[in-house]
Amino acid sequence: MVRYILTRLLGLIFVLLVLSIITFWLMHGVPGGPWAYGQQLMSDQQLAALKARYGLDKPVWEQYLIWLGGVVRLDFGMSFKHPDESVTSLIGRTWPVTLHLGAMTLLVAFGVGIPLGILSAVKQNTWVDYLATLMSIFGFVTPHFVWGILFILTFALYLKWLPTGGWDGPQYWILPVLAYAFAPIATISRYTRASVVEALRADHVRTARAKGLNERAVLSQHVLRNALIPMVTVFGPLIPDLITGSIFIEAIFRVPGLGSYWVTSTFDRDYPMIIGLVMLWAVLIAITYLITDILYVFLDPRVRFR
């Protein structure tokens, strides 16, 4: 197992290296630059001084090697948009808020989605199943920002139960978490239903019922364990998506998190921030899939490390 994990980690380093080269080449290859919008207001000397300050006057390959040398020291450079703050400091300041939001969203999504999917599978083709399917469809097709605006209008402005936005206490967390959790709940419940329905039709489940086991024992001992295997594959990638933030949720509810930087850094051509966020997301995805592969061994005794 240790050898398998070390091999995967070495592979991760190679993947990150290739991804950083591609990202670096693409973001420097796009027309324009960090000061494209204000370039007309600057003299050539001012623009040249800015480029020299951030090393943009050097060839791209040299800029990449300088950046790579900084990454070894965990230094991703200074943000162009926030020149007094490094990328590492900016992520360290805003990501805990996004992690908090994402962790609560995960708890709600898994806490509601899995039981809803199991109930829908057990009550297949009943009104419970149809209602759960209808809720899932609404969760799939309705964007985050629509739920966010709807919740603000209903619970904040009309009923006046909760604040419209901010991040100053538990009462401020409820609406963004609920709005953020609707789509994951839909995804989790539908995949859980499909996995449980497939497991319920297996021969060993039929045999367990024939032996006289009650339905609860059949479900807990023979169905859920086998249904978890495909569910883990689907649920793993949800985690990095949720803990890296949503620009819509954080903007609507004024959450001071990392999500807003995903889009704004691209529009602002904030090169250090762009590549820092891409590397963060790639590391999270790789670690999630590694943990998923390790979980397979504990969920399915037929799986072994090779």
pLDDT at site 113: 87
Q: Mean pLDDT throughout 137-162?
A: 85
The answer to whether residue 63 sits within a structural domain is: no
**pLDDT digit string (tens) for 67-99?**
888 888 888 888 888 878 888 888 888 888 888
Domain contains 174? yes
Q: What pTM, to 2 d.p., does this model score?
A: 0.79
Could you tell me the residue range of the domain that residue 259 belongs to?
A: 95-267
Kindly state whether residue 30 falls inside one of the protein's structural domains. Answer: no
The pLDDT value recorded for residue 244 is 76
> Is the sign of the CA dihedral 110, 112, 115, 119 positive or negative?
negative
pLDDT at 303: 57
Residue 78 pLDDT: 83
Structure tokens at 124: 């297949």
Burial class (CB in 10 A: 0-12, 13-18, 19+), 237: middle
Asked if residue 274 is part of any domain, the answer here is no
Indicate the number of domains in the chain: 1
Taking the CA atoms of the chain, what radius of gyration do you get in angstroms?
A: 24
d(CA 1, CA 5): 6
Q: ∠ CA 176-173-285 to the nearest 5 degrees? A: 60
Q: Would you say residue 193 lies in a domain?
A: yes
CA distance 36 to 191: 46
Joined tokens for residue 262: 């995903």
Mean pLDDT of 42-68: 77
Does 254 reside within a domain? yes
More confident call, 25 vs 30: 25
Determine, yes or no, domain membership for 122.
Answer: yes
Model confidence pLDDT, tens digit, residues 246-265: 778 888 888 888 887 777 78
Q: Write the CATH number for 136.
A: 1.10.3720.10
Cα separation, 95 vs 113, whole angstroms: 25
**82 domain residue, yes or no:** no
Give CA–CA dist 258/241, Å, rounded: 12
Q: Is the distance from CB of 155 to CB of 179 less than 8 angstroms?
A: no
Average pLDDT estimate for 108-130: 85
Cα–Cα dist 181/171, whole Å: 16
